[in-house]
Amino acid sequence: MKVSRSSRLNGEYQKEISEIIRTRLKDRHPELKGIISVTEADVAPDLKTAKIYVSIYAGSDAEKAKSFSVLEESAGFIRHELSQVMRMRTVPALTFLWDGSMAYGAKMDELFRKIHVPDEQDSGDGPESDEKGE
């Protein structure tokens, strides 16, 4: 199975950006709260731009919003740090986006759980048990 160059680059950018956020950016900005997970990196084929999808797990929505705004403001710093690590001719301009897939998945799990809850009628108290008993 062949892996394309773009998918390898996406994975490498995802890994390196995650490492930069976890170490250098958190040291520089102590107001970053919670766990910041880089879920996907989508680098354009011309390597000029990259969309970085992040999930933030924090205590409150205010902390999530603050951490996300710090990420957006620090895009230039992260790009500079990437240029030191990646050794490529061009380093793309970074655009950070919310990744709602985890919240969507949790919502779907909850809906499926509600559907699968057995009713009290299914426990043997329903009309089927009366017919079998006669």
**110 in any annotated domain:** no
Domain containing residue 82: 5-100
**114 in any annotated domain:** no
**CATH of residue 45:** 3.30.300.20
Strand stretches in the chain, DSSP E: 35-43, 49-57, 93-98
Residue from 98, 9, 4 nearest 50 by CA: 9
**108 in any annotated domain:** no
**129 in any annotated domain:** no
pTM score of the predicted model: 0.74
**54 in any annotated domain:** yes
User: If you ran DSSP here, which 8-state letter would residue 123 be given?
Assistant: G
Q: Provide the domain count of the chain.
A: 1
**72 in any annotated domain:** yes
Contact criterion met (CB below 8 Å) for 58 and 34: yes
- The pLDDT tens digits of the residues spanning 65-124 come to 999 999 999 999 999 999 998 888 889 999 999 987 777 888 888 888 888 766 555 555
- The whole-angstrom separation of Cα 37 and Cα 53 is 9
Per-residue tokens: 99: 């990744």
- The pLDDT tens digits of the residues spanning 17-64 come to 999 999 999 889 888 888 899 999 999 988 899 999 999 888 888 998
